[in-house]
């Protein structure tokens, strides 16, 4: 008989964001830390279609009220998703982004160590091979030339101004890295949850609800601190992450690659005007990808590493760096919404 | 531009869906009916499936992959009711599709 945790691991691996098996079995250890056997079994009855408890109870052959109580408790613990206005509906949650991030307020050191062992393996087995990633990179507004036409979903300020609900949550990457002695001094309260995702966080008591104005202030502080803007990968993102190259699970793994620009979801890169560059090194200091370095006479951009975040432009005192939009043929198609993003991810994985 | 085969398949799904009696599968799936239309929540969105086609909240047809998933969700449920008494098998099929 298949172990219930192995069954759950396979179930999570059938979701768009993956949960691949490893030789060490760390993925099973993680599930055992998070789910009781009963919760693990119940979670395997859920799909990405949010369903009310009575429907799921029939599948499980269980009593409706016990099922409602179990799933509500699981959704409050961040093990599954919950939505619905008139009645609660329950659905499967990806491990990342999903279950892991929902645990930002309930991390323990052993869980963090296991997840840190596991994430590089997810990266290698799945994410690095996909065209559609969980995040995309958008340039900071100060880096966008006035003559460049840019879609509203490529500007963090425009995305924020479209939201009726925003919840700010501590960055799980910097928080967990801090817990195991590898943190940095960049701001912690920076993850902006948007729309229905923000409602879920608020109802679960994670983070705090903020106004658009405060979100814009947090955004500016993040940019000032040198954080890369990474919304989830659709035109209607459910989160804007602000990431550092040292802690972020995405940037950290991208940084290990020789040519991260090839797989990062971005429409931009930067160019340096050598005649105007004073070779001061500010750009090199701020770049989270090691993509720009001072040279003999001017800074040089390694286009294989530049992900077009535009942070270097905000630090250039001689206006020598310019944001450049890729040719149409070099751009990837940004999914219209989260559903289409996940469908593309699932299709690319063949699940 | 998408190949015409996708449009052909979409029309075939719509034809099969037009033959469905949504009220017979409504309670099995926990979906809401608005008149003759089925409202299907999927991830963070709701889609409307009717005799005339599939649309998102703004009335636009979602992309082909989403149309297929929603069609299968409805059609396989009916299939499961007819062929299997074991509902979880349908979910396994859908989970593979996802």
From chain A, which residues contact B within 8 Å (Cβ)?
Answer: 11, 14-16, 45, 47-52, 54-55, 58-59, 83-84, 89, 91, 195-197, 238, 336-340, 342-344, 346-347, 351
Under 8 Å between Cβ of A223 and A142: yes
For residue A115, the model assigns a pLDDT of 97
Residue B93 — very low, low, confident or very high, per pLDDT cuts 50/70/90? very low
Helix (H, G, I), strand (E, B) or coil at B96: helix
User: Which H, E and C letters describe A143-160, residue by residue?
Assistant: HCCCCCCCCHHHCHHHHH
Residue A330 has phi, psi (to 5 degrees) of: -95, -5
* Cβ neighbours for A147, distance < 8 A, ≥ 6 positions apart: none
Looking at beta carbons, which residues of chain A come within 8 Å of B94? 47, 49
The pLDDT of residue B2 is above 90:
no
Counted across chains A and B, CB pairs separated by less than 8 A come out at 72
The pLDDT of residue A49 is above 70:
yes
- Range of lowest pLDDT (A84-88, A160-164, A167-171): A84-88
Average pLDDT, chain A: 95
This prediction's pTM: 0.91
Greater pLDDT, A85 or A344: A344
- Range of lowest pLDDT (A7-21, A66-80, B10-24): B10-24
A14 and B98 in contact by Cβ < 8 A? yes
d(CA A179, CA A247): 11
In this prediction the ipTM stands at 0.81
A339 and B42 in contact by Cβ < 8 A? yes
Residue from the list A49, A58, A347 with its beta carbon closest to the beta carbon of B73: A49
Say how many CA atoms lie within 13 Å of B66 toward its Cβ: 27
d(CA A58, CA A242): 42
Looking at A227-283, which runs of residues are DSSP E strands?
A: 228-231, 239-243, 268-272
A344 and B88 in contact by Cβ < 8 A? no
- The predicted model gives A232-241 an average pLDDT of 97
- Range of lowest pLDDT (A95-99, A207-211, A332-336, B88-92): B88-92
Structure-token pair, residue B90: 């349908």
d(CA A15, CA A48): 8
The pLDDT of residue B86 is above 60:
no
For chain A, percent of residues with pLDDT exceeding 70: 99
For residue B67, the model assigns a pLDDT of 94
For residue A91, the model assigns a pLDDT of 96
A340 and B65 in contact by Cβ < 8 A? yes
The pLDDT of residue A162 is above 70:
yes
For residue A100, the model assigns a pLDDT of 97
Q: What is the pLDDT of residues A268-310, one digit of tens each?
A: 999 999 999 999 999 999 999 999 999 999 999 999 999 999 9
d(CA A143, CA A324): 10
Task: Say yes or no: B42 contacts chain A, CB-CB below 8 A.
Answer: yes
Q: What is the pLDDT of residues A208-217, one digit of tens each?
A: 999 999 999 9
Q: Where are the alpha helices (DSSP H) in A275-337?
A: 282-286, 311-315
A15 and B98 in contact by Cβ < 8 A? yes
């Amino acid at each position: 008989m298949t172990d219930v945790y192995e069954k759950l691991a396979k179930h999570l691996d059938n979701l768009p964001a993956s949960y691949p098996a490893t030789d060490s079995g760390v993925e099973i250890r993680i599930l055992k830390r998070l789910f009781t056997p009963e919760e693990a079994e119940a979670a395997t009855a859920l799909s990405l279609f949010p369903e009310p408890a009575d429907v799921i109870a029939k599948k499980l052959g269980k009593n409706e009220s016990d099922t409602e109580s179990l799933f509500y408790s699981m959704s409050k613990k961040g093990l599954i998703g919950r939505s619905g206005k008139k009645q609660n509906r329950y659905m499967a949650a990806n491990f990342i982004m999903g279950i892991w991030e929902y645990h930002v307020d309930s991390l323990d050191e052993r869980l963090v160590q296991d997840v840190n062992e596991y994430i590089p393996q997810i990266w290698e087995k799945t994410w690095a091979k996909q065209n559609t990633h969980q995040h995309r990179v958008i340039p900071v507004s100060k880096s966008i030339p006035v003559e460049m036409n840019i879609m509203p979903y490529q500007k963090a300020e425009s995305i924020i101004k479209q939201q009726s609900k925003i919840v700010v949550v501590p960055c799980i990457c910097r928080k967990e890295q801090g817990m195991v002695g590898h943190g940095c001094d960049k701001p912690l309260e920076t993850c902006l949850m948007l729309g229905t995702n923000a409602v879920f966080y608020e109802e679960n008591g994670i983070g705090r609800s903020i106004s658009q104005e405060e979100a814009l202030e947090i955004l500016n502080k993040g940019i000032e601190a040198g954080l890369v803007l990474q919304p989830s990968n659709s035109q209607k993102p459910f989160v804007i992450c602000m990431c550092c190259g040292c802690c972020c699970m995405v940037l950290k793994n991208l940084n290990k690659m020789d040519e991260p620009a090839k797989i990062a979801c971005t429409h931009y890169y930067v160019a340096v005007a050598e005649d105007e560059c004073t070779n001061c090194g500010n750009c090199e200091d701020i770049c989270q990808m090691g993509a720009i370095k001072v040279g003999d006479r001017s800074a040089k951009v390694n286009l294989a590493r530049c992900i077009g975040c535009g942070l270097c432009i905000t630090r250039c005192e001689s206006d020598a760096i310019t944001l450049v939009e890729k040719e149409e043929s070099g751009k990837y198609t940004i999914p219209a919404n989260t559903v289409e993003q996940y469908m593309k991810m699932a299709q690319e994985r063949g699940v | 531009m998408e190949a015409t085969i996708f449009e052909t398949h979409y029309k075939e799904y719509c034809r099969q869906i037009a033959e469905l009696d949504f009220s017979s599968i409504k309670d099995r799936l926990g979906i809401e009916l608005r008149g003759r239309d089925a409202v299907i929540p999927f991830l963070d969105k709701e889609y409307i499936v009717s005799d005339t086609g599939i649309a998102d909240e703004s009335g636009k047809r979602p992309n082909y992959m989403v149309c297929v998933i929603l069609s299968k969700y409805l059609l396989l449920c009916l299939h499961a009711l007819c062929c299997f008494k074991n509902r979880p098998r349908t979910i396994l099929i859908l989970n593979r599709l996802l």
